[in-house]
Chains A and B, each alone.
Chain A
Amino acid sequence: MDRSKLSFFHISRSKLSGDFIFEAAIGFFALSIMILAFLLFRELFIGSALSRDIFGMGFLTGSTWDPVAEVFGALPFIFGTLVSSFLALVIAVPFSLGIAIFLSELAPEKLRTPLSFIIELLAAIPSVIIGLWGIFILAPFIRDYLAPPLSTYLGFLPLFQGPMYGLSMLTGGVILAIMIIPITSSVSREVIMTVPTHQREAALALGATGWETTRIAVLPYARSGIFGAVILGFGRAIGETMAVTMVIGNSPRISESLFSPSYTMASVIANEFVEATSKLYISSLIEIGFLLLVISFIINIAARILVWKLLKVEGGGVT
């Protein structure tokens, strides 16, 4: 009696402590993700202290970038990043939506998996290789075949005026669009697939055609999630570095024309960080990196909330 009691106690105690040790040990690894996020912010925040002290908010509005005179304003890069990313969205969103609708609603069952895999494969191609292709194939193509008709028919807009160099904002936007289509389309597709079948059945029962069903019953339901997918694509476009650096022309000026070369926040870091000699120069580049980190975090949080909400509330009605 005594012995069995003892051994029972013994087992349960060892179970308890084993579980406790294991949970604490791997809990530490989970905690390290929080530490990593904290360190990311801390390092870049500290690294950019000098630049923040000297330029303050003027850093965001200054358009002079002169390493020799040690005057640093990030506006041309912020402009380049925002415009190229918006341009990418303008091109990529209609395509991504089309892809998502086709793959979730219209495509034959057998084609769905292979087609979506092929499109996602595009995301696996390293950025530097897409950039290489961009320099030698896409940029000449846009210069010779896309830009001339744009300037002929839409030349009255300042967007499409001036000489076309090949390496330009337009090329940067197109290459970003290509790179964000996989994520935007696959998240949109996932969101559309969460739309309950009875939504579709109801529309079909009312005599709607396949396309009308998609338009009336599916898309409004998935709206917030699709919006999240678009924001997610925007976040990717903002942080994308190599391919853009290779095709956007790297010229820190703010121009109305999409045909002129531009510069992005990520590109200026990639190009100038190693060559930056003075402390203030390095600090200014780190501040650009810090801005990039903060913006992409905010964007990602917003996108996740929009997408998560929808993926979690299953079987709800049209919102």
Chain B
Amino acid sequence: MAILTAACVAIAIIPLLSILYTVTINGISAVNLDFLTQIPRPVGEPGGGLGNAIQGTFIVVGIACLIGLPVGILAGVYLSEYGQNRFGRIVSFVADVLTGTPSIVAGMFGYTFIVLYSGSFSAIAGGVALSVLMIPIVTRTTEESLRLVPGSIKEASLALGIPKWKTTLYIVINTARSGIITGVLLSIARISGETAPLLFTSFGNMFWANGLDKPISTMPVQIYTYAITPFPDWHAKAWGGALILIILILILNIGVRFVTRKKYGM
């Protein structure tokens, strides 16, 4: 039985290895300086790149962070420090359930909430859609890392006559800082690769970004657009984009775990 269960682990790892291998092999030949710095060219014309999509991804994820981080972190602080009541428990549960929101539904929300009213696909609508996915993750991870702060540290601070809000703000949050940052970075990694919410919020654009209220190109959407065309040279671009995106996300994931592990010597 031990062998059988070990085989399950081995088989589950095969797709991961296969994905990493194919993305690297197919992507590496497409990636060069032009690929990172130029905008796409029409099909058939060689050269060009995903520069605008890389730029757009940073902008849209940045907007999502501007909305999602304050809300997520402060809500998490409330839930852990002041949320020992019915309201807190309900919010905590709702945040948990919200983490299961289908990403396409978040996109639809961005569309009906922003695009319909403003009349245009935009970077802002994309950012709002992504923040819907980000907020519950950040809230829950912040809450959990604050709960790990030992009570004795809080008590020591309170015993010195420091009011609770200052204790929370300067002592508790500070102690849990690395845990909060880990959660934030992992949530950024998660939303950076989301495609579905951006299909009809930020939509896409073949040029450099020209305003937050205009359609904007992003890496995942660009990969998708290229992948479903019949053109081999666009397939190559899709693989190249996938490689860059995967490197970005793996750096965030592995980097974060590595750094936090070192710090606590786990």
Q: Is the CB of A44 within 8 A of B105?
A: yes
Most buried by A among B12, B97, B228: B12
Task: Scan A9-48; emit 1 where CB is below 8 A from any B CB, else 0.
Answer: 0000001001101110111011111101101100110110
A131 within 8 A of B: yes
A220 to B130, CA, bound (A): 39
Our pick among B7, B23, B105 for the contact of A239 (Cβ within 8 Å) is B105
Residue pairs across A and B with Cβ atoms less than 8 A apart, 20 shown, are: A30-B79, A33-B136, A97-B8, A106-B6, A122-B15, A128-B193, A128-B224, A128-B227, A129-B245, A132-B23, A137-B22, A210-B1, A210-B2, A241-B102, A241-B195, A246-B228, A286-B108, A293-B105, A299-B100, A300-B99
Known: A19-B165, A31-B91, A44-B109; 13 extra A-B contacts, CB below 8 A, are A34-B94, A97-B8, A98-B8, A106-B5, A124-B190, A125-B249, A129-B245, A130-B19, A133-B22, A239-B102, A246-B227, A269-B104, A286-B108
A181 within 8 A of B: yes
Chain B residues with CB below 8 A from A214, complex form: 1
Q: Which of B199-224 contact A (CB under 8 A)?
A: 199-200, 203, 220, 223-224
Q: Assuming the A-B contacts A40-B132, A126-B194, A289-B104, are A29 and B165 also in contact, with contact meaning beta carbons closer than 8 angstroms in the complex? A: no
Q: Is the CB of A241 within 8 A of B136?
A: no
Q: Is the CB of B165 within 8 A of A22?
A: yes
Q: Which residue of A lies closest to B77 (CB)?
A: A26
B125 within 8 A of A: no
Q: Is the CB of A26 within 8 A of B196?
A: no
Interface of chain B: mostly helix, strand, loop or mixed: helix
Chain B residues with CB below 8 A from A138, complex form: 15
Chain B residues with CB below 8 A from A274, complex form: 199-200, 203
Give chain A nearest CB distance to B209 CB in angstroms.
19
Q: Assuming the A-B contacts A34-B91, A99-B12, A126-B194, are A235 and B109 also in contact, with contact meaning beta carbons closer than 8 angstroms in the complex? A: no
Tier of interface size on chain B: 35 or more
Q: Which of A158-187 contact B (CB under 8 A)?
A: 178, 181, 185
Task: Scan A275-319; emit 1 where CB is below 8 A from any B CB, else 0.
Answer: 000000000001001001100110111001000000000000000
Tier of interface size on chain A: 35 or more
Q: Assuming the A-B contacts A33-B94, A98-B9, A273-B199, are A239 and B223 also in contact, with contact meaning beta carbons closer than 8 angstroms in the complex? A: no
Q: Is the CB of B97 within 8 A of A129?
A: no
Q: Is the CB of B18 within 8 A of A125?
A: no
Chain B positions within 8 Å of A, measured between CB atoms, are: 1-2, 4-9, 11-13, 15-16, 18-19, 22-23, 26, 70-71, 74-75, 77-79, 82-83, 87-88, 90-91, 93-105, 108-109, 111-113, 132, 135-136, 139, 163-166, 168-169, 189-190, 192-196, 199-200, 203, 220, 223-224, 227-228, 235, 238-239, 242, 245-246, 249-250, 253-254, 257, 266
Chain B residues with CB below 8 A from A266, complex form: 102, 104, 196
Q: Is the CB of A297 within 8 A of B11?
A: no
A127 within 8 A of B: yes
Give chain A nearest CB distance to B228 CB in angstroms.
7
Chain B residues with CB below 8 A from A99, complex form: 5, 8-9, 12
